[in-house]
């Protein structure tokens, strides 16, 4: 799985070839990049939300890619932050079913 920095670099056109090759081959990371492109741009520069998790963290939360302690802390934040709860709802709505991550048993 690509790192946050790799995904952001890809969106900025600054990723190296191996990152772009991974995005072509990996539906999971391609989905994360697509969601990040939609949501990160909109929110970048919003200084009132410095305490909120980055957009990609919400995306990964929605895909259940965070580790359990992070899932818990994001869930706690979502209870107290209307902006993030709204954003997560939009992320979930945008997410196409074919990219839904299959959990290992
Ligand atoms: Zn990947
Ligand atoms: Zn928040």
pLDDT digits (tens, 9 = 90+) for 21-63: 999 999 989 989 988 888 775 555 454 555 788 888 999 999 8
Q: How far is the CA of 86 from the centre of ligand 2 (A)?
A: 9
3-state secondary structure of 52: coil
Give the residue extent of every domain in the chain.
Answer: 4-99
Determine contact, residues 53/78, Cβ cutoff 8 Å.
no
Determine contact, residues 52/83, Cβ cutoff 8 Å.
yes
Residue 48: nearest ligand to its CA? 2
Give the residue with greater pLDDT, 39 vs 88. 88
Residue 73: nearest ligand to its CA? 2
Percent of the chain with pLDDT over 70: 81
Q: How far is the CA of 28 from the centre of ligand 1 (A)?
A: 5
* Closest to 63 in 3D by CA, of 101, 7, 23: 101
Q: Ligand 2 is a single-atom ion; what residues have CB below 5 A from it?
A: 52, 81, 84
């Amino acid at each position: 799985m690509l790192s946050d920095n790799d995904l952001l670099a890809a969106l900025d056109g600054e990723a190296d070839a191996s990152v772009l090759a991974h995005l072509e081959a990996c539906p999971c990371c391609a989905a994360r990049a697509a969601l990040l492109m939609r949501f990160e741009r909109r929110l970048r520069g919003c200084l009132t939300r410095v305490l909120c998790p980055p957009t990609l963290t919400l995306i990964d939360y929605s895909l259940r890619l965070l580790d359990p302690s992070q899932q818990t802390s994001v869930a706690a934040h979502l209870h107290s932050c209307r902006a993030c709860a709204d954003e997560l709802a939009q992320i979930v709505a945008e997410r196409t079913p074919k990219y839904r991550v299959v959990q290992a048993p």
